[in-house]
């Protein structure tokens, strides 16, 4: 059994598990669609762990077991999530990568995770712990191989945990959007004719995927993309006149590909991915967040489908976690430029 047992420093009541450099996520992304708010696992390859203490050192133990360990009834707050490492190296990491410790987790294995806490309310009231002061809160993080299951609250005692769970339940479920995209794409595959397939909608009644002929005119394409519920409304179109001057439409197929790549590149600059889902005779396109793209990359192969990100000069099958982190960082730094129109 692997075991790490030490004091670790937390900032902003946060510490993380990362299975690739820079894969840590925003809090709203990490807890999207969960019912528990202490261990965020919505972003593939990462865990967002919340503590009672805001700043200072807490007691922290990590264990990796071969099977589910018994639950110690002494823990006041307990949640469980599922986790899949995206590389063979996973780390427990402090805020901003100030320090990290490698964990014995393997890529290709689904893990169940139990996060246990004690003393969260006392630590939250204290807020900041100095080195010479006694420990206020401590935590146990346990991993064992198990098929994926929904997250759950096993035990709740503290007010900190209650607040965290309430926060998680208020976050939008981006996995629902992913499921809507998958459901619509599957429905399109089984439609009797290409024309009728264009009328298929996602389960919530809103178009999640734009179906575009490879010989379509650009203006209807623009209308289809802007009608999607996930269309990034900050995406400008002032480049179109120059683009048309540089690209003749004699080769309509080539023009459309370049047109879509330009849209995908500009969407990428806004922190959004233009995803192409298993294109056949038509393009099947959706705007998604980097986290949603990672989810599609994982889920679609199980539905006999694939996904690519559309950018100038390349339609790439998979985005590296560093790219996802770079998009999120850019979008967060520039969010003031887009919040009025998104």
**Each residue of 37-52: pLDDT tens digit?**
999 987 778 899 999 9
CA–CA dist 18, 23 (Å, integer)? 6
326, 312 in Cβ contact below 8 A? no
Confidence of residue 124 (pLDDT cuts 50, 70, 90): very high
Q: Is the pLDDT of residue 114 over 80?
A: yes
pLDDT for the residue numbered 267: 87
* Tokens linked to 102: 């490698």
pLDDT for the residue numbered 250: 58
pLDDT for the residue numbered 166: 94
What pTM did the predictor assign?
0.59
Of 8-22, 25-39, 193-207, 266-280, minimum mean pLDDT range: 193-207
pLDDT for the residue numbered 209: 84
Identify the burial level of 222 via C-beta atoms within 10 angstroms of its C-beta, where 0-12 means exposed, 13-18 middle and 19 or more buried: middle
Nearest to 102 by CA among 85, 119, 84, 120: 85
Q: Is the pLDDT of residue 161 over 90?
A: yes
The DSSP symbol for 118 reads E
Nearest to 335 by CA among 240, 238, 232: 232
Residues 6 or more apart whose Cβ sits within 8 Å of residue 246: none
Question: In a 3-state reduction of DSSP, which class is residue 298?
Answer: helix
Highest mean pLDDT out of 184-188, 267-271, 293-297: 267-271
Q: Is the pLDDT of residue 178 over 90?
A: no
pLDDT for the residue numbered 142: 98
Q: Supply the Cα-derived Rg of the chain in whole angstroms.
A: 22
CA–CA dist 160, 122 (Å, integer)? 10
* Matching residue, tokens 């539905």: 303
The DSSP symbol for 302 reads G
The DSSP symbol for 95 reads G
pLDDT digits (tens, 9 = 90+) for 76-100: 999 999 998 878 899 999 998 889 9
The residue that leads in pLDDT, 51 or 180, is: 51
Does the CA dihedral 2-3-8-11 come out positive or negative? positive
Confidence of residue 27 (pLDDT cuts 50, 70, 90): confident
287, 228 in Cβ contact below 8 A? yes
Tell me the pairing of strands 90-93 and 14-18. antiparallel
* Number of other residues whose CB lies within 10 A of the CB of residue 57: 17
Q: Is the pLDDT of residue 104 over 90?
A: yes
* Tokens linked to 201: 């909608």
CA–CA dist 213, 200 (Å, integer)? 15
Rounded average pLDDT over 27-36: 83
The residue that leads in pLDDT, 146 or 322, is: 146
Tell me the pairing of strands 56-64 and 138-145. parallel
pLDDT for the residue numbered 197: 34
159, 31 in Cβ contact below 8 A? no
Q: Is the pLDDT of residue 338 over 50?
A: no
Of 73-82, 207-216, 218-227, 235-244, minimum mean pLDDT range: 207-216
In order of 201, 287, 288, the CA distances from 233 in angstroms are 20, 11, 13
Positions of E strands within 28-187: 39-40, 46-50, 56-64, 77-83, 90-93, 100-103, 111-118, 138-145, 152-155
CA dihedral 218, 222, 224, 230 (to 10 degrees): 150
**What percent of the chain stands above pLDDT 90?**
38
CA–CA dist 94, 8 (Å, integer)? 8
pLDDT for the residue numbered 59: 98
Nearest to 271 by CA among 314, 223, 333: 333
What DSSP letter does each residue of 192-231 carry, written as one string? SSHHHHTT---TTSS---EEEETT--HHHHHHHHHTSTT-
pLDDT digits (tens, 9 = 90+) for 275-286: 988 766 788 898
Of 50-54, 102-106, 166-170, minimum mean pLDDT range: 166-170
Q: Is the pLDDT of residue 342 over 60?
A: no
Highest mean pLDDT out of 29-33, 35-39, 184-188, 328-332: 35-39
pLDDT for the residue numbered 192: 39
């Amino acid at each position: 059994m692997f075991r790490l047992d030490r004091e670790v420093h937390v900032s902003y009541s946060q510490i993380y598990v990362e299975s690739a450099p820079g894969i840590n996520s925003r809090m709203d992304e990490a807890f999207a669609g969960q019912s528990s708010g202490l261990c965020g696992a919505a972003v593939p390859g990462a865990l967002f762990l919340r503590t009672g203490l805001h700043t200072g050192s807490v007691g922290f133990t990590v264990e990796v077991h071969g099977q589910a360990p018994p639950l110690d009834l002494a823990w006041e707050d307990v949640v469980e999530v599922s986790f899949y490492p995206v590389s063979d190296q996973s780390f427990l990491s402090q805020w901003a990568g100030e320090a990290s410790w490698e964990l014995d987790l393997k890529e290709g294995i689904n893990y169940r995770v139990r996060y246990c806490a004690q003393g969260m309310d006392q630590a939250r009231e204290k807020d900041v712990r100095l080195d010479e002061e006694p420990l206020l809160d401590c935590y146990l993080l346990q991993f064992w191989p198990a098929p994926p299951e929904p997250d759950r609250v096993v035990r709740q005692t503290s007010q900190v945990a209650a607040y965290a769970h309430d926060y998680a339940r208020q976050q939008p479920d981006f996995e629902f959007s992913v499921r809507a995209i998958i459901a619509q794409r599957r429905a399109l595959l089984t439609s009797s004719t290409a024309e009728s397939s264009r009328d298929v909608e996602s389960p919530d009644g809103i178009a999640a995927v734009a179906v575009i002929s490879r010989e379509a005119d650009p203006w209807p394409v623009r209308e289809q993309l802007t009608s999607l519920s996930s269309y990034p409304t900050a995406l400008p179109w002032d480049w179109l006149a120059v683009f048309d001057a540089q690209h003749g439409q004699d080769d309509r197929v080539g023009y459309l590909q370049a047109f879509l790549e330009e849209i995908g590149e500009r969407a990428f600059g806004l922190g959004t991915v233009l995803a192409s889902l298993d294109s056949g005779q038509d393009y099947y396109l959706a705007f998604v967040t980097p986290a949603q793209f990672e989810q599609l990359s994982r889920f679609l192969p199980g539905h006999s489908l694939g996904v690519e990100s559309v950018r100038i000069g390349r339609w790439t099958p998979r985005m590296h976690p560093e790219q996802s982190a770079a998009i999120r960082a850019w979008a967060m730094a520039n969010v003031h430029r887009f919040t009025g129109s998104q």
